Structure 1
Amino acid sequence: MGVLGMHKAVLLTVMAVALSACAGGDRGLRDLRSNGGGPDEFQVNPVNPLVIPENLSALPTPTPGGANRVDPNPQADAVAILGGNPNALIPNGIPASDSAIVAAARRNGVDPAIRQTLAAEDAAFRNRASRFGFFRGRDRYFRAYSRQALDAYAELQRFRNAGVATPSAPPQ
């Protein structure tokens, strides 16, 4: 190797070392990892302002694990902003507008284990439907329920023929 070849080799080595030093340095704003022990700004939830009621006996009894009156409730806030009733989100709370339909549905009684009963009946139905199938280990869900499935486009056409305003649907 001549002097010129030696200079090229040294120059290439120096350039490689300089480039590798640039690549391994501080990433600055592109480094999204938390390096400090401070609070994470995405984990801090702002709370609603504290309000002292006029009658302190009207305060609810504290319940362990219950909701705090000043805790934010983004779902209820979104419902209220969109013009809905935020109280409709309360579990087991039935809006007054739905009380008639709930009363009609409950007229023959309510089975508290309905979910378990339906799950057992559904499993038995699928077992019977797949008993004579060629591929025993595969999921036969759609084949088992094919007679109970609605044809969405036939229903859409039926409603349109009856004069019902229907949304547009993608082509078949």
Structure 2
Amino acid sequence: MRLTHGMILVAVLALSACSRPQGELQLRDLRAFGAGPDEFSVLPAKPLEMPADMASLPAPTPGGTNLTDQNPLADGVAALGGRPAALSGQGIAASDAAMVRHVARNGVSSDIRMTLAAEDDAFQRNRSRFTKFRLFRDVDRYHEVYSSEMTDPYAELRRFRRMGVATPSAPPPERR
């Protein structure tokens, strides 16, 4: 009788380890496992202000931005003395036009993002075949799947130094 209970328990644990949400692969597990709130999920709005001219207000767009929405990246650029308007996509900058022409001299694929996304999805599905078996939910599988695609930074550092390229100092490698 004890043996059957143990076998049932092992079978239930094995089946629960195989479960995962359908759809996209979940290589990164970024959920907060603590009991408290996630302090990064709440973004306070800027204070409301009455504009000088009501006609200067943008037309409301569903899912669009609001004047009181926070934009941390633009706020950081402004705080450092930059132009936050430069963050909005305005095409290729004049300073980069020559480089873009050189890179595109042999042709440019208009659907490169979709092609790369499909290839990456196939790569993830192929490499993460056995990462579905999880005993613990908070394990990050990203590095396990992409380990063959990563470069060794210290090997690259040694290679560049042998070639005579001036390289900055690097922290000592972590001991595992």
Shorter-chain TM band:
0.3 to 0.5
Q: TM-score, normalised by structure 1?
A: 0.45
Structure of higher CA gyration radius? 1
RCO higher in structure (CA 8 A, sep ≥6): 2
- What is the TM-score with the length of structure 2 in the denominator? 0.44
